[in-house]
Structures are given as structure tokens and as C-alpha cells.
Amino acid sequence: MEALEKFRQETRAWLEENCPPSMRTPMTSEDETVWGGRNAKYANPEAKLWLDRMAERGWTAPTWPAAYGGGGLTKEENQVLQQEMRRIKARPPLSSFGIWMLGPALLEFANEEQKKEHLPKIVRGEIRWCQGYSEPGAGSDLAGLQTKCEDKGDHYLVNGQKIWTSYADKADWIFCLVRTDPTKKHDGISFLLFDMATPGVEARPISMISGASPFCETFFTDVKVPKGNLVGELNKGWTIAKRLLQHEREMISGMGLGGAGSGAGLGGLEQAAKDYYGEQNGRVASPSLRDHITRQKMDGKAFALTMQRSAEEAKAGQGPGAASSIFKYYGTELNKRRFELLLEIMGTKGLGWEGEGFTGDEITVIRSWLRSKGNSIEGGTSEVQLNVVSKRVLGLPD
Amino acid sequence: MALVLTEEQQLLRDTATQFFQERLPIANLRKLRDTKDATGFDRAIWKEMSDLGFAGIMISEKYGGTDFGPVGLGLVLEQAGRTLAASPLVSTVLLCGSAVQLAGNATQRQDILSAIAAGDRIMALALEEGPHHNPTHIATRAEADGNAFKITGKKTFVLDGHVADQLIVAARTSGNENDRAGITLFLVDPKSEGVKITRTLMVDSRNAADISFDNVSVPATAVLGSVDGGIDVLEQVLDIARIGISAEMLGLVQEVFDTTLAYLKERKQFGKVIGSFQALQHRMATQFAEIELCRSVVLDALSALEARRNDVPLIASLAKARLSDTATVMTNEGLQMHGGMGMTDQFDVGLFMKRARVATASFGDGNFHRDRYASLEGY
Ligand SMILES: Cc1cc2nc3c(=O)[nH]c(=O)nc-3n(C[C@H](O)[C@H](O)[C@H](O)COP(=O)(O)OP(=O)(O)OC[C@H]3O[C@@H](n4cnc5c(N)ncnc54)[C@H](O)[C@@H]3O)c2cc1C
Ligand SMILES: Cc1cc2nc3c(=O)[nH]c(=O)nc-3n(C[C@H](O)[C@H](O)[C@H](O)COP(=O)(O)OP(=O)(O)OC[C@H]3O[C@@H](n4cnc5c(N)ncnc54)[C@H](O)[C@@H]3O)c2cc1C
């Protein structure tokens, strides 16, 4: 307890000293997100400074072992760090598929050489990763993937196509699921890492309904991959793939609690309703809207308490309870509902696309409303999550 | 924050589970209903519950209670909800026991709390006057008359009102019908002259009564708490009751969910168990999620009471709204998924649906509590 308090004091002092002023303000648009990578551009030099200072301490990946560049913090210390960062409204120094998804999987499944090679670069934001899972013929039924990987003696040869690959056009490396045995389904998949600059790799951006083009069609034509880039055993990639999905789902679930682009710039649902709709005797003027806001807030609070309960149960050694199976489903549906409600609150101010007549916050909400629709699709759709709950948790048969 | 149970609490829950399954199974409620039992619960079993310490669970050891606290009481209520156990837990322990604990003077506490803990006294709170929960809408008057008060008015939906040994009556000593100030709580002997009690048979086969007061004279010593200051006590008491009933409803929805799930694994149509149909699977998975959220909310509300957190009113409204709404949906889903069987009196799901409706209406439904939540949050 005392040691933790000391850690808090030191952390607070260090953050005060090292978090640049502009990194303590809310992001005004998604473009300000720092993803790192070989081709990273920093419109704001303080963003780069903040990343480097945090990476130096390993605090971009606080709980990873220091041996791989991580912060080596315990869960409790990390909690303190997150609390202290929230206290000064510090932005995340780095957003990264490497940190959220790949790193934890490498820590569990990769060999020493692979960990030493890739983890420190993730921590420092030097290499940006993308996720090559989905294919045109393999979405929800991911294990149906067909991207072919052949053993050519001294290297692997990859041919095929991925789709919906987020930021494939900006990423430096890809973690990719490939088929190494066409006679088996789950037991014929391998987990491969390769450089997106390898000849034969091509990423074509696809425009999304929100106007951004974050995801791509990704083509592989005779891509040569060194054999040392296989993680785990040949044909045993499905286990790694599933574990990685768990990390991804946890990350996406958090959206239900509100984050960047959540409409925070408008001061929360009730303030927005008072501003856009008006108030009567201190109440939101529309009783029906007021009721909808309350339903949303209550569900949000109940969801946050459930995430908290699950964390407490895990800490008390009761394992990840059954409750955690609902997080991806509930969190993303909740997030979508919140944006629908925000749009109702904003009226025609919630219908702008760009340019004059709308504030930056308003445009952010509108774009985020559209982007939020993907939350219940990416990382496994809501329906697939409900299937998982039905089968694994409730024990209902096929 | 304690969303995980301690060992002691887990033990209490196991004791309660066993007790309700063995001593107060659903068959007990059916028997009371079918025999048109005059009391509406089993007094001998209530005595057993007291011996186990359930009646005195919120009462300090000084008065013979077990002082297990709100989380303990919640665990007992949850188990009671699973078997639809009819008992005076809500009327006597949640409502009246809490009121005396909070507002009673030394004599009142000594007399009443020890009698409650021993299982020797049934009490009822006479509060509501209309078809909707509205704790400040009180037209019943208590006029000062020398050293006494004279109470006149009509109360409805008084839980266990027809069997209570003692009543707590909320009456107006000043102000107008909807004022917060001016409400006073009185301890009233139901046998007093001018008290007329009519048992109302409710859909859940539990007890309630309409009670009218015609110039009922009570001494000044019958005032519980301060004259005109009753609302502060009432609100705390009601929040305890709302959270307690939410805990009961948690048991209720969990039981309906569990029995429905078991039915889906056993009933065959089209050559397979109906639980293999995705149309039903997804609805069950959705209810599973809702109930997990309910559990977190109820646990947080109970620990808020225990820790005397200042957000008790907010979390009480959250709990009561969520549990009321979920109970409505889950009992409907449960019935539907039982097909024709669900419509029969022989299957229990209908009994759960009936109890859910009454529990929902008790001390504010979802509409009441969402409105209150918004007001508490300042919008
Ligand atoms: C914004 C966004 C970013 C993404 N980023 C990436 C990325 O970086 N890398 C990557 O590999 N992939 C990415 N994806 C792809 C994502 O994982 C897939 O879209 C997802 O798995 C669904 O697959 P699909 O699009 O082929 O839909 P389909 O599988 O064709 O599903 C269509 C509909 O059918 C339903 N359905 C399918 N099977 C069942 C079933 N068994 N029972 C009930 N309903 C069913 C689905 O729920 C859905 O509603 C991204 C997707 C989005 C939207
Ligand atoms: C008030 C009442 C009056 C009635 N009167 C008559 C009458 O006069 N004459 C008569 O012959 N019958 C009568 N019935 C019977 C009625 O037709 C059946 O109850 C009904 O067909 C459902 O069958 P079941 O009860 O066996 O339910 P089940 O078929 O066992 O269904 C149980 C649950 O499983 C669901 N389910 C079943 N199959 C599927 C599937 N493939 N996909 C998804 N979900 C599925 C159902 O929707 C239901 O929710 C009456 C029923 C009621 C309630």
C-alpha cells in the first residue's frame, strides 16, 4: 500500500513535469491520434515529444516486461498510472494494434528472438502493425480463410487476398493468418508476420461511410516471407488467432464507456440536451428525450459496474467470470445507441457533413456516429458474440 | 466498492438458499393461495426465519439482531425471490425496522426492534394513497388535539397491512397535499378505534390492504422521529426497500432465466431441442447480458447502503428501474419460450410474472425511477 502511494506521488510528479500542455487537451479530431510507424507525421511536435518520453519509460505498454521495452508495472501500478493520466486529462501517447492486440499474443506465443525483435519497436512506436484476418470469403467464419502459404524450403510463399484490413496502407508490418494445410479447417491455419514493404504486397484503401478510408483490400502476389517469421508452430495458428481476438474484443468493449469522439466535447448527453433542446425549470425540455437520456446513462453505469465487477472477481482469483463474454456485444451496442441519441439531441446540428455552419465537435460526433456502426462488426459481429454466449456460456446446442 | 462477496457472505447465501428451497419452496405460495390462507404467509416459518437471524439482519446485536448488514439482507432477499417466498421481510424488516432504526427514540427502538428480531411483531407501513407510488402526495391528516393527534385519511397497497401488529402511518401535520415538508410518521395500533382494514387480494397472492383512518386518536409518544420531518426518514427507508426489492427481483429473474434455459435444453420440436434454434438462443444470450448487469447494479446498491455512500438515492433508483424493467422482459420471454405450457397455472413461470408486476409497482416502477434519477442528476 505504502509502496503504491509512493509510486503514485512519483508518477504524478513525473507526469506534471513531462506531459506537454497540448497533450492535456481533448483531441479535436481523429487525425490527431498518434499511431507511430516508419512514416509517422506529427503536425504537433509535442505529440512526438510525449510519445518519446512515455516510450522511454516503457509506459506506452506499462505492464509488458522491461526486458522487451515495457514498463514492467504491476496491474496495481498500471491502474495508478492510468488514474494519474486521467487526472491531468493526458492523451494516450500511442494508439497501436501492436500494443492492443499483437504484443500480448507475442508475449504468450512467440519465441525469444521474435519477442526481442518486435516488442521494443512496438513500445517505441517505431513499427506500425495491421491485422490480416478477414477475407472476402471469410468474415464471421474466419477459419474459412484461403490465403495460401507454401513452404518453399528456405522461405514461405504467400498468395491471396485480405479485406477490411484497417490502415494496411499506413502500416509497416502485418500479422496475418494464412492457410498452410488446405485439407483441414482450424488445424490448417498459421500465424505469420511480414513486412508490408515486401514485393508483392499491395493495399488499396476502401472509403468508409464516415468519409475516412481507414480500411483496405490487401493483395499478396508471390510474397516471400522468411521462415523465422512464423509465430508458434505450423498449422497451430488458430489458437493464437483466437487469443488475439480476445484482446481485440476487450479493447473494443471499452467503447461503451465513451472515449475519443464520444461526444465528450459537447459536455455529455444531458448538457447537450439542455443546450440544443432547451431546458425548463432545470430539466431537459423534452420529457421523452430526458427519459431516453436516463435509460442510456443507467445502462452505461450498469455496464461500467459490470466491467468493474469482472475485474474485481479476476483479482479475487475467481477467473474471468461469465460476465466478460457479454462485453463486446453490450459495449458496442451501447456505444451505437449513444450516438443515435446524440444525433437526436443535436437535431439539424447533428446532420452536417463538413465546412461552415457546424463546430468541429459537431462534425466529430457525426463522423463518429457513422464510424461507431463498425464497432458491432469488427472483431466479431454482435450476432457472433451472441452465438458464443449461447454455446459456451449457456451450453445451448447447435 | 465491494462487488465480490466475502466468505462470511457466501456462507449466509448458502444458508439462505437451502432454507428457502427446503422450507419455503414455490409449493408453499401455491398452498397459501389455494387454501385462501387468512394470514397470507406462514407464521411458524417466519419464526424459523427469525431464529436463523433473517428478521434481525439489519438490527444491532444490542436488540437481539444479527447485524449482518444490507449486503447480507440482499443475499437473503435474492434467495427468497427465487422461490417466491411469502414473508414479512419487506414490510417488517426493510420498511418498518429501518424506519424505527433511523428515527425511533430509545424506548421505541428497545420495544420494536427486539420484537422484530425475535419474529414476534409484524409491522406495516401505511404510505400510498393512489395507484402510483408518490411518497410526498399525502392527504391523510393528523390534527394536533391537546397532547394527542387525530388521524383521518385513506391508505392503499399497505403490504401486510391486514396482519400487522403495529402500523407506521405517514400523515400530514402541516402544509398541502404535495409538500415535502409537513409529513409525520406515527406508530398506530391497528386495533385502535376508527381504523378499518380491508385485505386486498393481489395478483401475486401476497398480502396488501386498504386501510382507512377515521379520527383515530394517537398519543404524542406515538410520533416516530420529528413532527413535520417525516420525509427525510421516509426517503431513506424507501431507498432501502427499493434496493431490497431489487435484490428480491434479481433472484426472481435469475430463477426464470435458469428454468427457461433448462426447458430449452429438454423440450423437443422439429426433431431437436428448441434450445438449438438461434431465434431463441440470441434472446437468451441478450437476457443473460441484462441479468449480469442487474447483478452488478444490485451488488453496488447494497454496498452503497452498507458503506453509507451519499449516492444511495441515485443507485437505488438505478437498481429499481433496471430490475423492474428486466423482470418484465424476462418473465415475458420465459413464458413465451415455454409455449402453451407457459400459459398454464401448473407451470411456475406465470407466478413469477405476477410477482414481478407487483414488485415492479412497489415503491416506484421504471418510469418513476428514471424521472427521479434525472432530477437527482440535475437535468
Ligand atoms: C471498421 C472495420 C474495421 C475492420 N478492421 C479489420 C482489420 O483490421 N483486420 C481484419 O482482418 N478485419 C477487419 N474488419 C473485418 C471484420 O472482422 C469483419 O467485417 C467481421 O468479422 C464480419 O465479417 P463480414 O464483414 O464478412 O460479415 P459476414 O460474416 O458476411 O456477416 C454478415 C452478417 O451476417 C451475420 N452472421 C454471420 N454469421 C452468422 C451466424 N453464424 N449467426 C448469425 N449471424 C451471422 C453477421 O453477424 C452479419 O450481421 C473490420 C471491419 C470493420 C467494419
Ligand atoms: C391460450 C391457448 C389456446 C390454445 N388453443 C388450442 C386449440 O384450441 N387447439 C389446439 O390444437 N391447440 C391450441 N393451443 C396450442 C397452441 O397451438 C400451441 O401451444 C402452439 O402451437 C405452440 O406449441 P407448444 O405449446 O408445444 O410450444 P413449443 O412448440 O414447444 O414452443 C416452445 C417455444 O419454442 C419456440 N419454437 C418452437 N419451434 C421453434 C423454431 N423452429 N424456431 C424458433 N422457435 C421455435 C416457440 O416459439 C415457443 O416459444 C392453444 C394454446 C394456447 C396458449
Q: How confident is the model at residue A253 (pLDDT cuts 50, 70, 90)?
A: confident
Nearest CA to ligand 1 atom 1: A374
Task: Tell whether B145 and B45 lie within a shared domain.
Answer: no
C-alpha cell at B57: 439482519
**Residues B322, A329: C-beta atoms closer than 8 Å:** no
Q: Is residue B294 part of a domain?
A: yes
| Ligand 1 mean position, distance from CA A134 (Å) | 8
Task: Tell whether B188 and B245 lie within a shared domain.
Answer: no
- In this complex, is the C-beta atom of A390 within 8 Å of any C-beta atom belonging to chain B? yes
Closest ligand 1 atom to residue A383 Cα is 47
Residues 6+ apart with CB under 8 A from A86: none
| Helix ranges restricted to H, chain B | 7-23, 26-34, 43-51, 69-82, 98-103, 106-108, 114-117, 230-264, 278-306, 312-337, 349-361, 366-376
Beta bridge partners of A191: A177, A231
| Ligand 2 mean position, distance from CA A390 (Å) | 23
| Ligand 2 mean position, distance from CA B266 (Å) | 15
Predicted pLDDT of residue A237: 97
Q: Which amino acid is at B131?
A: P
Contact list in B for residue A290 (CB cut-off 8 A) is 374, 379
Domain that holds residue B146: 124-229
Q: Phi/psi at A82 (nearest 5 deg)? A: -65, -40
Residue A223 vs residues A84, A160, A161, A191, A340: alpha-carbon distances, Å: 45, 10, 12, 15, 43
C-alpha cell at B93: 424488516
| Helix ranges restricted to H, B178-265 | 230-264
Contact assessment for residue A221 and residue A254, using Cβ atoms and an 8 Å cutoff = no
Q: Is residue B202 part of a domain?
A: yes
How close A246 gets to chain B, by Cα (Å)? Answer: 18
Q: Is residue B363 part of a domain?
A: yes
| Mean pLDDT, rounded, for A128-136 | 98
Task: Tell whether B285 and B303 lie within a shared domain.
Answer: yes
Task: Tell whether B368 and B263 lie within a shared domain.
Answer: yes
**Residues A394, B285: C-beta atoms closer than 8 Å:** yes
Contact list in A for residue B292 (CB cut-off 8 A) is 306, 322-323, 326
Q: How confident is the model at residue A231 (pLDDT cuts 50, 70, 90)?
A: very high
**Residues A273, B1: C-beta atoms closer than 8 Å:** no
Residue B330 vs residues A51, A249, B235, B339: alpha-carbon distances, Å: 49, 27, 29, 15
Q: How confident is the model at residue A263 (pLDDT cuts 50, 70, 90)?
A: low
Residue A242 vs residues A179, A328, B336: alpha-carbon distances, Å: 15, 14, 35
Closest by CA position to A338, among listed A308, A364, A369: A369
Q: Is residue B162 part of a domain?
A: yes
C-alpha cell at A361: 465537435
Query: Where does a domain end: B95, B121, B147?
Result: B121
Q: Is residue B236 part of a domain?
A: yes
Predicted pLDDT of residue A214: 87
CATH classification code of A2-123: 1.10.540.10
Q: How confident is the model at residue A311 (pLDDT cuts 50, 70, 90)?
A: confident
Predicted pLDDT of residue A162: 98
Contact assessment for residue A60 and residue A125, using Cβ atoms and an 8 Å cutoff = yes
Q: Where do we find the cell 460526433?
A: A365
- In this complex, is the C-beta atom of A323 within 8 Å of any C-beta atom belonging to chain B? yes
DSSP assignment letter at A138: B
Task: Tell whether B106 and B240 lie within a shared domain.
Answer: no
- In this complex, is the C-beta atom of A89 within 8 Å of any C-beta atom belonging to chain B? no
CATH class name, domain A258-393: mainly alpha
Closest by CA position to A308, among listed B250, B296, B74, B307: B296
Report the alpha-carbon distance of residue A254 to residue A82 in Å, rounded.
14
Q: How confident is the model at residue A101 (pLDDT cuts 50, 70, 90)?
A: very high
Report the alpha-carbon distance of residue B229 to residue B175 in Å, rounded.
12
Q: How confident is the model at residue A256 (pLDDT cuts 50, 70, 90)?
A: low
Helix (H) or strand (E) holding B211, with range, is: strand B207-219
- In this complex, is the C-beta atom of A291 within 8 Å of any C-beta atom belonging to chain B? yes
Q: Where do we find the cell 488499396?
A: A204
Q: Is residue B2 part of a domain?
A: no
Residues 6+ apart with CB under 8 A from B289: A326, A329, A330, A389
With pLDDT > 90 as the criterion, what percentage of chain B qualifies? 96
Task: Tell whether B64 and B134 lie within a shared domain.
Answer: no
Question: Is residue A261 over pLDDT 60?
Answer: no
- The long-range contacts involving A388-391, CB below 8 angstroms and separated by at least 24 positions, are A388/A325, A389/A325, A389/A326, A389/A329, A389/B285, A389/B288, A389/B289, A390/B278, A390/B281, A390/B282, A390/B284, A390/B285
Q: Is the CB of B277 under 6 A from ligand 2?
A: yes
Domain count of chain B? 3
**Residues B276, A398: C-beta atoms closer than 8 Å:** yes
Site to probe by mutation for ligand 1, drawn from A130, A140, A213, A329 as the one with most ligand atoms within 8 Å of Cβ, is A140
Question: Is residue B5 over pLDDT 90?
Answer: no
Number of neighbouring beta carbons within 10 Å of residue A7: 17
With pLDDT > 90 as the criterion, what percentage of chain A qualifies? 83
Closest by CA position to B203, among listed B345, B99, B340: B345
Task: Tell whether B135 and B218 lie within a shared domain.
Answer: yes
Task: Tell whether B175 and B295 lie within a shared domain.
Answer: no
Contact list in B for residue A397 (CB cut-off 8 A) is 265, 272-273, 275-276
Largest Cα–Cα separation, chain A = 78
Contact assessment for residue A122 and residue A129, using Cβ atoms and an 8 Å cutoff = yes
Predicted pLDDT of residue B1: 45
| Ligand 1 mean position, distance from CA A237 (Å) | 20
Closest ligand 2 atom to residue B338 Cα is 32
Contact list in B for residue A301 (CB cut-off 8 A) is 297, 318
Site to probe by mutation for ligand 2, drawn from B274, B283, B341 as the one with most ligand atoms within 8 Å of Cβ, is B274
Report the alpha-carbon distance of residue A167 to residue B85 in Å, rounded.
58
Residue A264 vs residues A361, A364, A368, A370, B71: alpha-carbon distances, Å: 9, 10, 12, 16, 35
Averaged pLDDT of chain A = 93
Question: Is residue A79 over pLDDT 80?
Answer: yes
Contact assessment for residue A107 and residue A243, using Cβ atoms and an 8 Å cutoff = no
Residue B302 vs residues B2, B295, B373, B376: alpha-carbon distances, Å: 9, 11, 17, 19
Question: Is residue A268 over pLDDT 80?
Answer: yes
CB-side neighbour CA atoms (13 Å) of A331: 28
Contact assessment for residue A261 and residue A212, using Cβ atoms and an 8 Å cutoff = no
| Ligand 2 mean position, distance from CA A393 (Å) | 27
Q: Phi/psi at A204 (nearest 5 deg)? A: -115, 115
Predicted pLDDT of residue A28: 75
Report the alpha-carbon distance of residue B243 to residue B266 in Å, rounded.
35
Query: Where does a domain end: B94, B121, B148?
Result: B121
pLDDT in tens, A14-37: 999 999 999 999 887 778 899 999
- In this complex, is the C-beta atom of A283 within 8 Å of any C-beta atom belonging to chain B? yes
Task: Tell whether B300 and B342 lie within a shared domain.
Answer: yes
Burial of B319 (0-12, 13-18, 19+ CB in 10 A): buried
Q: What CATH number is given to the structural domain containing B249?
A: 1.20.140.10
| Ligand 1 mean position, distance from CA B283 (Å) | 21
Q: Where do we find the cell 402510483?
A: B132
Predicted pLDDT of residue A258: 55
Q: What CATH number is given to the structural domain containing B190?
A: 2.40.110.10
C-alpha cell at A99: 500494443
Task: Tell whether B251 and B367 lie within a shared domain.
Answer: yes
pLDDT in tens, A376-388: 999 999 999 999 9
Say which residue, B354 or A75, is predicted with more confidence. B354
Predicted pLDDT of residue A260: 46
Of B275, B293, B378, the CB nearest to A303: B293
Predicted pLDDT of residue B7: 87
State whether residue B223 is helix, strand or coil: strand
Give ipTM to 2 decimals. 0.96
- In this complex, is the C-beta atom of A129 within 8 Å of any C-beta atom belonging to chain B? no
Q: Searching chain A, which residue's CA lies closest to the CA of residue B258?
A: A394
List, as one string, the DSSP characters of A189-226.
EEEEEEETTSTTEEEEEE--TTS---EEEEEEEEEEEE
* Domain coordinates in residue numbering, chain A: 2-123, 129-236, 258-393
Closest ligand 2 atom to residue B279 Cα is 43
Question: Is residue A287 over pLDDT 90?
Answer: yes
pLDDT in tens, B274-286: 999 999 999 999 9
- In this complex, is the C-beta atom of A313 within 8 Å of any C-beta atom belonging to chain B? yes
For an interface test with B, which of A294, A318, A376, A398 has the most B Cβ atoms less than 10 Å from its Cβ?
A294
Q: Where do we find the cell 401488529?
A: B165
Predicted pLDDT of residue A262: 61
Q: Is residue B82 part of a domain?
A: yes
Question: Is residue B2 over pLDDT 70?
Answer: no
Q: Phi/psi at B190 (nearest 5 deg)? A: -65, -15
Task: Tell whether B255 and B367 lie within a shared domain.
Answer: yes
Q: Phi/psi at B150 (nearest 5 deg)? A: -120, 120
Range with the lowest mean pLDDT among A134-148, A181-195, A316-330, B63-77? A316-330
* Rama region for A173: left / alpha / beta (φ>0; ψ in -120 to 50; rest): beta
Contact list in A for residue B7 (CB cut-off 8 A) is none
| Mean pLDDT, rounded, for B334-357 | 98
Q: Is residue B1 part of a domain?
A: no
Architecture of domain A129-236: Beta Barrel (2.40)
Task: Tell whether B300 and B200 lie within a shared domain.
Answer: no
pLDDT in tens, A158-202: 999 999 999 999 999 999 999 999 999 999 999 999 999 999 999
Query: Where does a domain end: B194, B229, B264?
Result: B229
